[in-house]
Structure 1
Amino acid sequence: MCGITGATWMADCRPVDSSDFDRMTDALSHRGPDGRGVHREDYPDGSGILLGHRRLSIIDLAGGAQPMANEDDTVWVSFNGEIYNYRELRPGLEQQGHRFRTHSDGETIVHLYEQYGDDFVLHLRGMFAIAIWDRKRRRLVLVRDRLGQKPLVYCHQDNRLLFASEIKAILAIPDASRQIRHQAIDEYLTYGYVPHPGTIYQGINKLPPAHLAVYEHGQLSTRCYWNPELTPDPTASSDDLQQNLRQVVDESVRLRMRSDVPLGAFLSGGIDSTIITGVMQEHAAQPTHTFTIGFPVDGFDESQFAQTAADHLKTEHTLMEVQPDSLSLLDKLVWLFDEPFADSSAVPTYYLSQMTQQHVKVALTGDGGDELFAGYDRYRTVDRLGNFDRLPSPLRAAITGPWRHVIPSGPEVSLRRRLKHRLAILREPLEKRYVSWVTGFSQSRRHSMYQPDVQRQMSSESSLQFLESLLRQTTGMRPGLRAMRTDLRSYLPCDLLAKVDITSMAHGLECRSPFLDHHVVEAAGRFSFADLDRPGQIKPVLTQTFQKYLPKSLRERPKMGFSVPLDRWFRNDLQSFARDTLLSHQAFCHNYFQPSAIEQMLNEHQSKTWRHGDRIWSLLFLELWGQQQG
């Protein structure tokens, strides 16, 4: 696990200065505190390449320094992540005549590229962002893992390509693009993050998950290399599917326990992390070290459930209770994320990573379990509402007709408002219906907040295209599965995995997610929605397949989530801070939003007419990010 940087330029482009590139690489020192390396090549025609690396030593502590090359130094690699099956790949490569200098997983990549070209990525099991320089062809290859666990951003301008693990590294180059992409503000309010392939900056992009990019002769091309259908297998029995799932999860955990440094696991007391920890115990020579953060706030503290799981599995458990210093941490998170990011669970994840790193250098997580095994209530709701779409159109029109407008509005939590909202949603196709389900700011609310000139520039349809296009690719599936498959390619990589990567790497901690092995994803995709969602049961496929790891009290508990009490904060401790910051005459956000609309939101929240905690957090993050732009 590391941070990578790079720059390549054509003959008619000014070379990147080495001192600028050093700043670019060292901007990622928090991702790789154990070492740094830079490789530079300048060619007679004026073109050149720079590869940089900041190392967090996990595998082959003595010999795994990067950038590294093949036997004759014609293929170079700088990569971030872990290749879990590198030991299995190595014998076959040696039989083909490849000679290894180290015992690292990174060296496997250069020899795979020599052997298979761009198809090398199909042989990898892991999480990775990879940069390969092919000296003979003066060709740069960039690759991101299948589920998007490791980030990779790039800037292609004027016959030059810059790339890095984080945006801040690209911004360390003096003439890199810093222009804000205004449409990204609308995307941020819609999703709580800026979806790939864009970023908040014009000209800086994210390489999407499961994509490979090639920069050659000044031209950049990208393609998707993994796009499984993930359709249920009606010919397989439940027993066979569960047996296969048990085998691939066991193998995935075993591979992710390969480490030359101490490792442990996040344990929330939920089904996903408890199963991963239980499988770890099967392969561990001693009790697994598990970690939980506790919050002294009712409804937000899972520590008792984590302790129940730890007692059942007999782990060596560490609990740390924290009272988040949200104000000072918010500034830190804004700097770490580089662009607006509205998921407030970054706060507990940051503290959990900080505490875990004091004991181990690698932690296994249960990430992906909800998206693969129907862990969110919205999947069930979306699926059941699909029954409405099968009614005759005249009946649907009658149920959702103009009469709904006579229902009086009320507070956000009132039954009549929820009924009115539900009827309005039913009129929409599933694509727009699901967007309304997951967005923090509805289209009407966003438009009512914008300054008039900004509103004319924003295109809500453009913002919606990201999620709607993914949903359209699932046409023919059952509605619940459509929502799950869409989250797997949107909410998971853009929000959850980005959050875990940034907050864990802020402390030099590597997080590994066994459920996100692509073999596990493909095995999970064979289950029908009827298997995944059964009345009165929570994640029945997981609880039945891995029953021995789960105490009865955990199998039946509803999902709590990893969150912070925003509604309470913004009515009490942070009320003045939010008001003073967002209503300041110098506020950055006033460039986009009407101060009166922000004030109305704050007043509605304080009066408990609406619960705007998440929205206020989103605006605060955006405001502080804007202030850091100078």
Structure 2
Amino acid sequence: MSGICGIIRFDGAPAERAELERMAARAAYRGPDGIHYHFDGPVGVACLALDATPDGTGECRPLVERDRRLTFAADARLDNRGECAAASHRAETDQATDAELMLGMLLHAGEDGPGRLLGDFAYALWDDPRRELRLARDTMGLRSLYYRVEPERVLFATEARQILAADGVPRRLNERAVAWHLSGMQIPPGCVFYDGIEEVRPGEEVTIVAGQAARARPFWRPDPERRLHYRDEREYADHLRELLTEAVCCRLRTRSPAGISLSGGVDSSVVASIAGWLHGREASVPAMRAYSWIFSEMPECDERDNIHRVADHFGIPVHAIPAEETYPLVDELANRPHEDDPFTSMFQPFMHRALSSAAKDGVAVMFYGFRGDVMCGGNVNDVPGMLKAGQWHRARDELGELSRVLSLSTAATLHRYLLQPILSDLLPSRARVTGRRVLQRRRRGAPHVVRAGPAARAGGHVRDDFLARAGLPSREPVREAADAWPRSAPRHRYIHIFSPLVMRGVMYAERVSAAHGIAIADPWSDRRIAEFILACPQYCVDTAVEVKRLARRAMDGIMPPSAIRAASKVSPEPLYLGALRGKAHVTVVDLMTNSRCADLGFIDEAVLRERFARFVRDEAPPFDLWPTLCLELWLRRYWP
């Protein structure tokens, strides 16, 4: 995607061009279509342009309203262009850029403006008469935005490392972010790896005025009380299909061809099928090209049969990428982390291979199905909802399948999936929170160290004294926010959709794609779909008997029936485990030897090495080693 950065000086001194140019240069790959600057005394703004649209409406340039003395910069893809044009009284909607329409809506709607913007965006709006800077980021976190407030100036940028390029910005490691990372990589939005740099949270607008503390306010949250009550499940499926079609269509405002990272699973197959179906109905819709993993040496991971059921049906050419050429940690360059944070996918080599091939094919936008799993899967079971709806036989079958799949006794299944959710729904949120706090106090009073809350996810090699020093809270912010939902199943769905791990993963993928000059699109990360799914009866969305039930039914008449039946979730984990034991074993051992993580007091190197050796000898099961490995890679490269 594009990028923005800027300097606003509160002391009236002019913004230094050389300084802003250094900030822009740190993310120059975001500006293949040029870097555009605007300077006006104490204000300096840069836009790094990557316009994937065929008509220039995605252009990223500084906008200046001289009459009102406003300066606006946005990295954006806007969905509701017509509504924004009407609000700003623009007749020539087709010629207006997304940024122009966004600014019009913000000026027209005031504080309600950010919440009325649909799409993926991050913006900065400087109001000179008010001496006020407003920064905001889209609700689903597809765009990033960081800032630093100093007594005499404020800096903002798409990437944290751009702010580090400014004069006098210290480079200090935030140990709390490290602790979150080592505790399951569930780093909450707003937590940055550099002390003194802040992150605008998704769905939040930050207002900064000279001499005052920055003020943040949410401009959108899903409504916990909203419920949909349709006559039958077919209506829910039709509604989801309508939303998915709109989400895919909005993101197909791009040059042809569009790319898609296509597996044989439900999430990406849904996106590819809708895009192929739309292209067949309207020639102006861009054609698709698929980039897919194939596993010859690990047939249990291979999904090419279902990939071709979808691709061949819609005439989508498939570029096959052999998994055996993309082992994690084998190619140093392919596994290099970004400077902003250590979050890296163990399957980054595949992403680089796919994006590199797509760039050569002229692809401007790569489609993914990132949030499909948390929107319509994720094992959110709602047996009480089935019973409340009078679906007794279905509830019986669901409990039986849960017992079979999880190898639980009948009593254990009833307790976990029926009694516990019912009791949780009956207790008010205040009582649930109080009960958890009592339990945590009892754990803290135990004679030996018992990790509670997020820290409990950290591996045994992570030092207890470090976790205590970092001071993680007793609960994740996303779980605190989920307490607003009155029923257990929607609470769990909310936690899935707004999972910090998923949020961080989407941001990470955007950076990797931008490095190849390609924008990303994830139709599943659409706020309208999130609102709908959260308002649905959860037993319609996903069940143990029929995984991703609603998404499959929404594809009737679009995706080939054989592909709907065969779509399944296949984990490529064997590739990662094979790398640890074989092709990357020497690299892994090196990363554990004279470890920077150990030098900084984060881990116990001896414990880690001993546990890894037992895993390699098949004397211990796999454990969550990846957070430590990618943190070590990051520290060695950026904190030598």
Shorter-chain TM-score category?
A: 0.7 to 0.9
Deviations 1:470-525 (A, max 9, x none): 34333x222x4322211212246533312321221121111112222222222222
Contact 1:454–1:592 under 8 Å retained in 2: yes
2: CA distance, partners of 1:488 / 1:195: 13
Q: Which residue of 2 aligns with 1:28?
A: 27
Listed as ranges, the gaps of 5+ residues in structure 2 are 383-401, 407-412, 425-435, 444-450
2: CA distance, partners of 1:312 / 1:517: 26
Matched, 1:75 2:70: yes
Q: Which residue of 1 aligns with 2:211?
A: 218
2: CA distance, partners of 1:604 / 1:11: 60
- Change in 2 beyond 3 A, CA 1:388/1:516: same
Q: Which residue of 2 aligns with 1:599?
A: 609
Shift of 1:281: 2.3
Q: Which residue of 1 aligns with 2:427?
A: none
Deviations 1:76-105 (A, max 9, x none): 22111311222453255236xx88895321
Q: Which residue of 2 aligns with 1:458?
A: 470
Q: Which residue of 2 aligns with 1:416?
A: none
TM-score scaled to structure 2, two decimals? 0.81
Matched, 1:547 2:556: yes
Listed as ranges, the gaps of 5+ residues in structure 1 are 43-47, 394-424, 433-438
Q: Which secondary structure state, in structure 2, belongs to the residue aligned with residue 514 of structure 1?
A: coil
Match of 1:55 among 42, 49, 55: 49
Contact 2:329–2:335 under 8 Å retained in 1: no
Q: Which residue of 2 aligns with 1:419?
A: none
2: CA distance, partners of 1:224 / 1:137: 21
Percent identity reads 21
Q: Which residue of 1 aligns with 2:241?
A: 246
- Change in 2 beyond 3 A, CA 1:448/1:553: closer
1: CA distance, partners of 2:415 / 2:14: 58
2: CA distance, partners of 1:27 / 1:444: 37
Q: Which residue of 2 aligns with 1:368?
A: 371
Q: Which residue of 2 aligns with 1:534?
A: 543
Shift of 1:63: 9.1
Contact 1:76–1:132 under 8 Å retained in 2: yes
Q: Which amino acid aligns with 2:354?
A: L
Shift of 1:601: 2.2
Q: Which secondary structure state, in structure 1, belongs to the residue aligned with residue 545 of structure 2?
A: coil
- Change in 2 beyond 3 A, CA 1:164/1:88: same
Shift of 1:187: 0.7
TM-score scaled to structure 1, two decimals? 0.83
1: CA distance, partners of 2:529 / 2:466: 45
Shift of 1:455: 5.0
2: CA distance, partners of 1:249 / 1:383: 35
Contact 1:20–1:174 under 8 Å retained in 2: yes
Q: Which amino acid aligns with 1:57?
A: D
- Change in 2 beyond 3 A, CA 1:506/1:296: farther
Shift of 1:605: 1.6
- Change in 2 beyond 3 A, CA 1:89/1:563: farther
2: CA distance, partners of 1:496 / 1:602: 26
Shift of 1:149: 0.9
Contact 1:348–1:562 under 8 Å retained in 2: no
Q: Which residue of 1 aligns with 2:396?
A: none
Contact 1:331–1:624 under 8 Å retained in 2: no
Deviations 1:240-292 (A, max 9, x none): 32222222222222222222454233321211222222222232245532222
2: CA distance, partners of 1:154 / 1:218: 16
Match of 2:202 among 209, 220, 225: 209
Q: Which amino acid aligns with 2:190?
A: P
- Aligned runs of 1:436-451 on 2, under 5 Å? 443=455, 446=458, 448-450=460-462
1: CA distance, partners of 2:598 / 2:168: 23
Q: Which residue of 2 aligns with 1:255?
A: 250
Q: Which residue of 2 aligns with 1:151?
A: 144
- Change in 2 beyond 3 A, CA 1:581/1:520: closer
Match of 1:470 among 444, 467, 481: 481
Q: Which amino acid aligns with 1:288?
A: M
Shift of 1:68: 2.0
Matched, 1:267 2:262: yes
Q: Which residue of 2 aligns with 1:321?
A: 322
Q: Which amino acid aligns with 1:133?
A: W
- Change in 2 beyond 3 A, CA 1:93/1:507: same
1: CA distance, partners of 2:573 / 2:200: 28
Q: Which secondary structure state, in structure 2, belongs to the residue aligned with residue 37 of structure 1?
A: strand
Shift of 1:388: 4.8
2: CA distance, partners of 1:558 / 1:325: 23
Deviations 1:403-425 (A, max 9, x none): xxxxxxxxxxxxxxxxxxxxxx9
1: CA distance, partners of 2:468 / 2:524: 43
Shift of 1:444: 5.8
Shift of 1:456: 4.6
Q: Which amino acid aligns with 1:547?
A: D
Shift of 1:209: 0.8
- Aligned runs of 1:382-393 on 2, under 5 Å? 385-389=416-420
- Aligned runs of 1:168-183 on 2, under 5 Å? 168-183=161-176
Cα RMSD, aligned residues only: 3.4
Deviations 1:217-244 (A, max 9, x none): 3331111111112557363222332222
Q: Which secondary structure state, in structure 2, belongs to the residue aligned with residue 130 of structure 1?
A: strand
Q: Which residue of 2 aligns with 1:518?
A: 527
- Change in 2 beyond 3 A, CA 1:67/1:335: farther
